Structure 1
Amino acid sequence: MLHLTGSTVAVGRDWGDGDDTAEDRGLKHRPKAATRDVPVAPPLVRLLNHHIKEYPPGSNDKLFVTRRGAGGRYVPTAGQPIPNNTYGKAWRDARAKVLTPAQQHSPLARRPYDLRHAAVSL
C-alpha cells in the first residue's frame, strides 16, 4: 500500500500562493490533513524499494528529486524538485523507444496528460 498524504504541484509564478513555482498541497477534494491508502502491485513495490535503496529520499523527504548541483555535478543530497521539462524529455525518449515512427508522429500520448483522456489510468 502507498500511504499518500498530499502532492506537490507545479504552478506558474502568478498562480501560486507563494513565490515558488511548486506548491505542496493536500489531496484533491479532501480535507488538508486527509490521507489515502492506495493498493500497489508487487512489481511496483519492487521497483520502488530498489529506487529507495539506490537513491535515498532527498533532505526534504521527497522520493524523486534531482541529484545535480551547480554545473551539473552530482550532489547526492541536492534534493531539489525535478524540473517540469525533465518529465517531457523522459516521456519523449520513452515514446521513441516503444512506438513506431508513424505512432510517434501521431497525437497518440504526445504528452503524459493525454493519457487522462484515453482513460489509461482506469
Structure 2
Amino acid sequence: MSNSQNASFNAGEAKAQAEEKTSQMSEKAGEMINQMSEKTSQISEKAGEKTIQMSEKAGEKTSQASDMASEKSSQASDIASEKTSQAGGMLQSAKESVQEAGSQMMAKAGGAAEAVKNATGMNN
C-alpha cells in the first residue's frame, strides 16, 4: 500500500470514528434533554399541586373569616336589639311614672281647690 493510499485509509478511519463519536454524543445529548424535560415536567406538576393546595387553604381561611365576621355581626345585632328593647322598656316605665306623678299632682290640686272652696265658703 502506498503512502497516499495509507493516508487515505487513515483519513477514512478517522472520519468513521469521528462520525461514530458524533452519533454517540448526539444520542447522549438527546437522552440528557429527555431526562431534563421529564424533571421539568415533574417539577411543574408538583408546583401545580402546591398551588392548588395553597389556593384551597386560602379559600378555607377566607370562608372561616367570613363565617366569624357573620357570627360577630349577628351577635352585635342581637345585643343592639336587646339594648333597644331595654331602652324601650325604660322609656315606657318613665312615661308611666310621669303620668302617675301628673295624676297625683292633679288630684292634690283638685283636693287643694276643694279645701280652699270649703274654707272660703264657696262650695255651699
TM-score exceeds 0.5: no
- Asked which structure has the greater RCO (Cα within 8 Å, sep 6+), the reply is 1
Which is greater in Rg? 2
- Please give the TM-score of this superposition, normalised by the length of structure 2: 0.17
Q: Determine which structure has the larger helix proportion and give its number.
A: 2
State the TM-score, normalized to the length of structure 1: 0.17
Q: Which of the two has greater strand per residue? A: 1
